[in-house]
Amino acid sequence: MATCMALPVFISPQDFDYIVIITNQTKLKENDAVFIRCTVDSNPPASIKWFKDGDVELPTTNSNIYFISSTSCLDTGNYSCLATNSVYANQKNKSLELLVHCSPWITILSNSHSLYIYIGSPWFTILSNSHSLYIYIGSPWFTILSNSHSLYINIGSPRLDTREDHRLKVSGDIGETVELTAEIISYPGANFQWFYKDNGSDIMIGNQESYFVINNQRFINSYRSVLRTNIKSNEMYRQYYLNITNDDELSNSLQFQLISETVPDSPQDVRLLNETSDTICIEWIPGFNGGAPKSYIVQHSTDDKTWINSPAIPDSTNNGRVDYCIEGLEPDTSYYIRVIASNKYGESKIGTLSQSELPKTAPRQGASPAQLLMGRQLRTTLPTLSRNIKPRWPNLKNVRGRDRDHKDRKKRNFDYHNSSRDLKELNPGDNIIVKLDWEKRGTPGVVIRKCAQPRSYMIRTKYGLFRRNRRHLFLTNKVRFAANAFDEDFDPIDIDIRVNNHQDVNPPDPPPDIPQLPVRVEKPVLRRSGRTIVKPERYRD
């Protein structure tokens, strides 16, 4: 009798059925939504990963679909999906090229600053001081006069690649070769033309004796243009222009400046980050370094006259900005703060805080044990900035000062509420009354000298010499004991030696002429249980 069995069939990823872009046009525009779907015949099911340009893995919630809700010019690239399963080691992948047309942008150049505005319709309205400025896209250039300043408005698709650090100001000495570089994002492809102005005329630059132009395409929508310049004379220190066009008849332009090495530009956009009781943190945007390595100095002052310099701060940026914290400041105090850049040619102009009000340190507060131990606040469940949990130990001088102030304040309050005051110092020969251990009433005496120990005095009574603390001595005006009534064997030096060696100056037993009280023997008191009641020592008198 034959038996039939169903055996599992394992299929490795062989072929992709299709890759589909769900859109109503073959070439995309910015802000379009795109689906890229990847389907694979495989048993067990394949695991799919998405990549852009072959090496950048893309995150996705659904492995076989990659979705872009709003495309941008930077989304242009080669997208591929890689399929594998747990049985076969071989992999299959297929790629697709996604092309996104760069939408028009407006570039406003004013005082060497650029403002980029995206245009979504044929007309764009800018409201400024109740005035409306209407800009029509069809014409490439507009000039708007405002307060005797000209704003040049250029409409174009090619734009600077913000992922790269551009230097629009470059320096070099005569005999050196420098490069002016532009990284551009554009689709369709970009065309470049370098030129400079001479007596109002545009002089085009090609490959010639002092100039060499290199244009290349880095990726599908990324282009680079380099003007290599051999500085032969001072006449070559000028402004250079790069005109960029593409096949959509859109254009843009960049302006570069070639100068000789000089002092650096002043720091820009100096901002306040945070304040504590002894620290003020600021940040700024570095300017042009003048062609030589530069550093910074942060100065602070309370009166805008006497300035305190910080140590030299290296020119290292964090997200394009430099930050520094001024420590050891006085609490609850306003400060003037300025930043100066310097290189081997000198110092820049002063960069000041952009805010109108002076920064002020917080009132003095104590440091918690965690701050003293770990150098930061402990983590909590509340959200906080990452810089607040970076180790930064508090200023120990201020911590000690706060601790001293706290103790002084507690002592002052205690003395006030308890009417405490410093006792008057005694002089040799002053008459006093002192209560000795075996007496119920005070004994008159006289001060011999002040001892080296704090608040201690050597006194003379009819029983002999004693050293007592000031709080045990009561000053009196009545003369009851003569200061010169010493025994013949009195030696003050010997007394001081015995006191410093912690030897008793007092006689070991009361003098014999002191009356002895009769000893009273009390009958023990019994409890109901028959046990003897024992009084505490403080009641046994």
pLDDT at 368 over 60: yes
E strand intervals along 111-265: 113-118, 123-128, 131-136, 141-146, 149-156, 159-160, 169-171, 177-185, 190-198, 201-205, 211-217, 222-230, 239-246, 251-259
CATH architecture assigned to 16-101: Sandwich (2.60)
Give residue-wise pLDDT tens across range 342-359. 999 999 999 998 877 888
Phi then psi dihedrals of residue 54, to 5 deg: 85, -20
Class of domain 269-352: mainly beta
Give residue-wise pLDDT tens across range 208-222. 888 999 998 887 788
What is the pLDDT at residue 213? 92
pLDDT at 150 over 50: no
Asked whether the domain spanning 431-500 has the same topology as the one spanning 159-259, the reply is no
The answer as to CATH 2.30.30 being correct for domain 431-500 is yes
The answer as to CATH 1.10.3470.10 being correct for domain 159-259 is no
Q: How confident is the model at residue 381 (pLDDT cuts 50, 70, 90)?
A: confident
What is the pLDDT at residue 341? 94
Strand partners, 254: 242
Tokens 């690239």: give the residue. 77
Q: In this predicted model, which residue has the larger pLDDT, 19 or 168?
A: 168
Q: Please state the rounded mean pLDDT for residues 101-115.
A: 52
pLDDT at 486 over 60: no
Q: Is the pTM of this model over 0.75?
A: no
The tokens describing 180, both together, are 């002016």
pLDDT at 151 over 50: no
pLDDT at 62 over 70: no
Tokens 């790269």: give the residue. 164
Give residue-wise pLDDT tens across range 8-17. 544 555 544 4
Phi then psi dihedrals of residue 245, to 5 deg: -130, 160
What is the pLDDT at residue 57? 84
Q: In this predicted model, which residue has the larger pLDDT, 153 or 289?
A: 289
Domain boundaries along the sequence of the chain = 16-101, 105-156, 159-259, 269-352, 366-421, 431-500
Give residue-wise pLDDT tens across range 271-281. 998 888 788 99
What is the pLDDT at residue 2? 54
Q: How confident is the model at residue 104 (pLDDT cuts 50, 70, 90)?
A: low
- Return the percent helix, strand and coil in the chain, to nearest 5: 10, 40, 50
What is the pLDDT at residue 144? 44
The tokens describing 431, both together, are 């008459």
Q: Please state the rounded mean pLDDT for residues 248-273.
A: 88
Strand partners, 351: 339
What is the pLDDT at residue 364? 64
288, amino acid identity = F
pLDDT at 145 over 60: no
Average pLDDT, the chain: 76
Q: Please state the rounded mean pLDDT for residues 128-132.
A: 42
Q: Please state the rounded mean pLDDT for residues 85-95.
A: 73
Q: Please state the rounded mean pLDDT for residues 132-140.
A: 43
Q: In this predicted model, which residue has the larger pLDDT, 432 or 47?
A: 432
Q: Which of 87-101, 168-182, 323-337, 422-436 has the lowest mean pLDDT?
A: 87-101
